[in-house]
Structure formats: C-alpha cells, structure tokens
C-alpha cells in the first residue's frame, strides 16, 4: 500500500534497536480517516463477506481493528492482556512474549464471545516477531473457530514473524513490509501482487 | 440514550462488587455499528466542529473513541498506561488508581502529539470512580490544551466519578447513568435534558 509506505518514510522515525516509530498516525495519535483507507486496502485482499468477526489484541491494535470492523459492519473482539476482575472464568488463553514490555503476557478471550466455527479475520497494526499474532491464532484454534486470514498494516520483515506465517500457509497480508530500517534509510520489500 | 440503556438491561450482567459487565457489545466483543450510534448521540451533545482531537485511555476506551473520531473525521490519541521502550522522553504524565487491576498506573501522552491550545474532547466507554478521566483531564491541563468536554457511554452513578466532574463545571455528558445495579435490577438516573 503505497500511501502507507509514504507515511512511514515521511513521518516515521527509526530509533536504536530497530524500533520504528509511527506513533503520529498509527499507534498513539491515530489518523482515523487513514485507518479507513487501510481498511479498504485489506478489503481488496480478503473476502470480507466470508468474515464473521475481527480479532485483535489490546492495546494498539484496537484502533485499526475497530475502524475496519465499523466499515465492514462486523463485530470486533480484542483479546485482553491480563486477568482483570471483570473477566469471569471461561477463557481461551495463550501466553506470548511481549518484546515491547519485555515480559510474558497472557492473551485472553472470553469463550462466550468466540464460538466454534466462527470465521475470524485477525487484524493488527504492527508485527515484529509475531508473538501477538501467534497468540491470537492459538486462541482461534482453541475456540474451534476458523482463521480466515491475518492482516497487518506494518510488518518488520527482518524480524521473522511474517515469514513464519507465510510458511504456515495462512492467508497473511501485510500492507507495508520493512526489510531494513536505519535512521538514514527505510527499505520496503517489493509487493507480491 | 435509550438504545444504550436497553442493551445494558437486556445484555448486561451484574456481578458481586457492583461490577456491571457489558462486554458483549462495549468492551471485549465490540458492536462497532452500535459504537457509531453512540458517536451520533455524543454529536448531539457536543459541538464537534469545535473539537480538534479525541482523547481516551487504553485499552477499552480505544474502540469507541476510534469510531467516534472516524465518524467525525478527527484524529484520536490514546494515553498509554505504562512506559514502553517505544515511547521516548517528552511525556505528559498523570498517575491514577486502576480499580479494575487494583494498582496505580501512569497515563502517558507524548508531548509531540498534544500541543498547547488544542481543543480536546475526552471519550471513554465506562466511568466508575472516574480515575481514568481525572488523569486524562490532568494531561490536557499539563499540555496547556483546552478541555472541550467529557463524553462517557456508561456511568456508574453511584460511584461518584461523574458527579465530581459535574460539580467542577466540566461539560460532561454520560449517555446512560446507572444509579443502582443488583443482579435483579438496574436503575438508571433520569436524563437531564
């Protein structure tokens, strides 16, 4: 998606440790109109009519996933990241490593809201090593639901998460795959289509 | 907002400790089309043309705030709840008590994205004691920004957070104020308008 690549180049910032900051439009201050354009780009790549629910993980995936779900007239579930008092028993759980916070966290979805055979499209704003998406896919499997696909806005291609999903034969679509990021240069992988 | 009250009565569940669960449509599985209706109800109560940015707190406020911002063609900022490696210095901070997780957390907004004199509308899905909203209002003050109003979908009126904002003279609007919640009965406060 060229408009997304342009914004990453023009507004993104590369920090030490290969951290790519796009928090001016994607995951802190969110350009919600642009999230609508990203939703349209996903809709060109997935058969949205074949989707029952959008699944993401808190927190930063929620903005993009909500606007996708709103445009497509679907419900959206966000997996929670810690056990709060407001979630009762009956949970699907998947433990993942959060490299952002450098600790293990458990993704939780209430069994009540993710029924077997539900057709699930996973949406997230960012993928690096792919731990959050791996956990979300696990939750879909635990529920006996069907994973229709995984859509990611920005993939850090050099950290392996996306390639692992591609090898698994999942219908995986990333709109901007960054193969190299230095303070001087951001290099994108050529589009497959 | 009658449609919201109806859904709380029909789909909500009251747990011990006055916990009101509406996680089937508001804050775990999110009915995104209904969030659009909530946005319209807010738009009847606030002068959206006089708003520059929507501000909420992660995580559960993001879904509603995103869809409001999308409908109103505004950007949305979500305050983060812990220092991650991906946020550099230059932060507005406000410490709040999270009763959901029973611990203190710090709300953070990057100074880069909340400029002085920005007109801010705070949106959140739920208010009980009002700690998150108090923290968000503090962040607005720290930034030298202007608080246009605070819009809440569901207020637990018996926990005091909303009344404190009303007494402060803030343009505060809650779409469903619950004055009493037991497993047998949910009682709403009469609308002011």
Residue A114 distance to chain B (closest CA, Å): 9
pLDDT for the residue B115? 96
> Is residue A92 a part of any domain in this protein?
yes
Query: What is the pTM assigned to this prediction?
Result: 0.95
Domain that holds residue B169: 2-188
Decide if A180 is inside a domain: yes
* Chain B contact for A58 (CB, 8 A cutoff): yes
Q: Burial level of B37, CB count in 10 A (0-12/13-18/19+)?
A: middle
Does A3 lie at the interface with B, CB-CB under 8 angstroms?
Answer: no
- Whether A64 maps to a domain, the answer reads yes
d(CA B60, CA B93): 19
The domain that holds A68 is classified in CATH as 3.40.50.2020
In a domain, A183, yes or no: yes
Give residue-wise pLDDT tens across range B30-65.
999 999 999 999 999 999 999 999 999 999 999 999
Q: Please, are residues B25 and B7 in contact by the beta-carbon 8 Å criterion?
A: yes
**At residue B13, what are phi and psi to the nearest 5 degrees?**
-145, 135
Q: CA A6, CA A181: separation in Å to the nearest integer? A: 14
**Which of B66, B85, B86 minimises the CB distance to A66?**
B66
- What is the band of B101 on the pLDDT scale with cuts at 50, 70, 90? confident
pLDDT digits (tens, 9 = 90+) for A101-129: 788 889 999 999 999 999 999 999 999 99
> Does residue A193 lie within any of the structural domains?
no
Note whether B75 contacts A30, CB cutoff 8 Å: yes
| Confidence (pLDDT) at A193 | 53
Q: What is the mean pLDDT of chain B?
A: 93
Within a domain: residue B136? Answer: yes
pLDDT tens-place string over residues B116-173: 999 999 999 999 999 999 999 999 999 999 999 999 999 999 999 999 999 999 999 9
Q: Which residues of B touch A16 (CB under 8 A)?
A: none
- The residues, any chain, with a CB within 8 Å of residue A69's CB and separated by 6 or more, are A54, A75, A76, B30, B32
Taking CB atoms and an 8 Å limit, are A75 and B32 in contact across chains? yes
| Exposure string for A147-174, b = 16+ CB within 10 A, e = fewer | bbbbbbbbbbbbeebbeebeeeebebbb
**pLDDT over 60 (residue B17):** yes
Residue A17 confidence (pLDDT):
82
Q: Do A19 and B85 touch (CB under 8 A)?
A: yes
pLDDT in tens, B107-117: 999 999 999 99
ipTM value, please give it: 0.94
Q: Are B114 and B63 in contact (CB under 8 A)?
A: no
Per the omega criterion (within 30 degrees of 0), is the bond before B59 cis?
yes
Spell out which residues of chain B touch residue A76, defining contact as CB-CB under 8 Å. 29-30, 32, 63
> CB atoms < 10 A from the CB of B34, how many?
19
Q: Which residues contact A93 (CB under 8 A, 6 or more apart)?
A: A106, A107, A108, A139, A142
Residue of B nearest to A25 (CA): B75
Chain A residues within an 8 Å CB radius of B39: none
Q: Which of A50, A85, A34, A164 is closest to B17 using CA atoms? A: A85
The nearest alpha carbon in chain A to B69 belongs to A32
Name the residue in chain A with its Cα closest to that of B108. Answer: A28
Residues of B in Cβ contact (< 8 Å) with A77 = 28-30
Among candidates B32, B88, B100 on the partner chain, residue whose Cβ is nearest the Cβ of A85: B100
Closest to A143 measured CA to CA, from A107, A169, A173: A107
CA A28 to chain centroid? 15
pLDDT of residue A82: 75
A111 and chain B: CB distance < 8 Å anywhere? no
Domain count, chain B: 1
In-domain check, residue B193: no
User: Distance of alpha carbon B131 from its chain centroid, rounded?
Assistant: 10
What pLDDT, on a 0 to 100 scale, did the predictor assign at position A88? 59
Residue B87 confidence (pLDDT) above 60: no
CA B61 to chain centre: 6
Q: Give me the pLDDT at residue A86, please.
A: 54
State what percent of residues in chain B have pLDDT above 90: 85
Using a CB–CB cutoff of 8 Å, tell me whether A24 touches chain B.
yes
Contact A35 B70 (CB under 8 A): yes
Residue A153 near residue A178, CB atoms below 8 Å: no
Pairing, β B172-182 against β B146-156: parallel
A55 → chain B, closest CA residue: B29
The residues of chain A scoring below 70 in pLDDT are: 83-88, 192-193
H-helix or E-strand spanning residue A77: strand A76-79
Give me the sheet containing B76-79, strands edge to edge.
Answer: A29-30, B76-79, B53-57, B119-127, B146-156, B172-182, B185-188
Contact B107, B136 (CB under 8 A): yes
**Inside any domain, residue A106:** yes
Please judge whether A78 and B69 are an interchain contact, meaning their C-beta atoms are less than 8 angstroms apart.
no
């Amino acid at each position: 998606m060229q408009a997304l690549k342009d914004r990453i180049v023009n507004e993104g910032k590369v920090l030490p440790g290969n951290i790519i900051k796009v928090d001016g439009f994607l995951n802190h201050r969110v350009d919600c109109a642009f999230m609508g354009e990203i939703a349209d780009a996903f809709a060109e790549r997935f058969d949205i009519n074949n989707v029952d629910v959008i699944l993401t993980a808190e927190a930063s995936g929620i903005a993009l996933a909500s606007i996708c779900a709103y445009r497509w007239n679907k419900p959206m579930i966000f997996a929670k990241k810690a056990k709060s008092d407001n979630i009762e028993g009956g949970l699907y759980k998947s433990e993942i490593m959060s490299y952002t916070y450098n600790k293990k966290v458990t993704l939780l979805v209430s069994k009540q809201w993710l029924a077997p055979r539900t057709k699930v499209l996973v949406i997230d704003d960012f993928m690096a090593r792919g731990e959050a998406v791996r956990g979300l896919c696990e939750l879909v499997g635990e529920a006996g639901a069907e994973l229709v696909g995984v859509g990611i806005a920005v993939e850090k291609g050099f950290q392996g998460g996306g390639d692992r999903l591609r090898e698994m034969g999942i219908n995986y679509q990333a709109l901007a795959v960054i193969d190299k990021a230095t303070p001087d240069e951001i290099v994108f992988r050529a589009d497959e289509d």
